[in-house]
Structure 1
Amino acid sequence: MGLISEVLLLPLAPVRGSAWAIRQALREAERLYYDPAAVRTELARLEEQLEAGEITEEEFDQREDELLDRLEEALRRRGATGEGTAL
């Protein structure tokens, strides 16, 4: 960008900075949400809740399906970024 463009766009700098911060926060949230270790931990916790009688079989099945879908997506994303799929 030239000097004139920079001067004209200067009032938008806070907006551009905010957009960047939002993108970074979203990336981090997605990274945490699709972290295979976190999903496996949630699956273990879910099984403990079932064994303790805190949830029903139906609730377990539904939440387990959601977590397994999330784990599958996490592993797919890791493969797409070249991070490997080591378990």
Structure 2
Amino acid sequence: MGLIGEVLLLPFAPVRGSLWTIRQVVAEAERQYYDPATVRAELALLEQRLEAGEIDDAEFDRREDELLDRLETGLGRSSGRGNGTT
């Protein structure tokens, strides 16, 4: 069903292309979200906000836990790919 299947599915090509594009955008957004450098920068900014008195200790602890979870996930993702970055 190779050639016939492609001809029959041709009207759906824009949809398949759109889905591929959406997958690529989501993958890049996740890569940036879990990027260890980004998370570390957010941790530094969070500490500055605490020292400046913009947030209290409870808010700092809550946000720090979230960021550390993201960092752990990001480091696990990069080491899990087997690309030699550990």
Counterpart of 2:53? 53
Equivalents in 2 of 1:74, 1:57: separation in Å? 25
Work out the percentage of aligned pairs sharing the same amino acid.
69
Structure 2's unaligned 5+ residue stretches are none
Structure 1's unaligned 5+ residue stretches are none
- Scaled by the length of structure 1, the TM-score of the pair is 0.93
User: Counterpart of 2:46 in 1: which secondary structure?
Assistant: helix
Equivalents in 1 of 2:6, 2:42: separation in Å? 48
Residue type of the partner of 2:45?
R
Counterpart of 1:67? 67
Residue type of the partner of 1:9?
L
Equivalents in 1 of 2:82, 2:48: separation in Å? 33
Counterpart of 1:16? 16
Figure out how many residues of one structure are paired with residues of the other and give that number: 85
Aligned CA-pair RMSD: 1.0
Q: Which 4+ residue blocks in structure 1 deviate beyond 2 angstroms?
A: none
User: Counterpart of 1:47 in 2: which secondary structure?
Assistant: helix
Counterpart of 2:2? 2
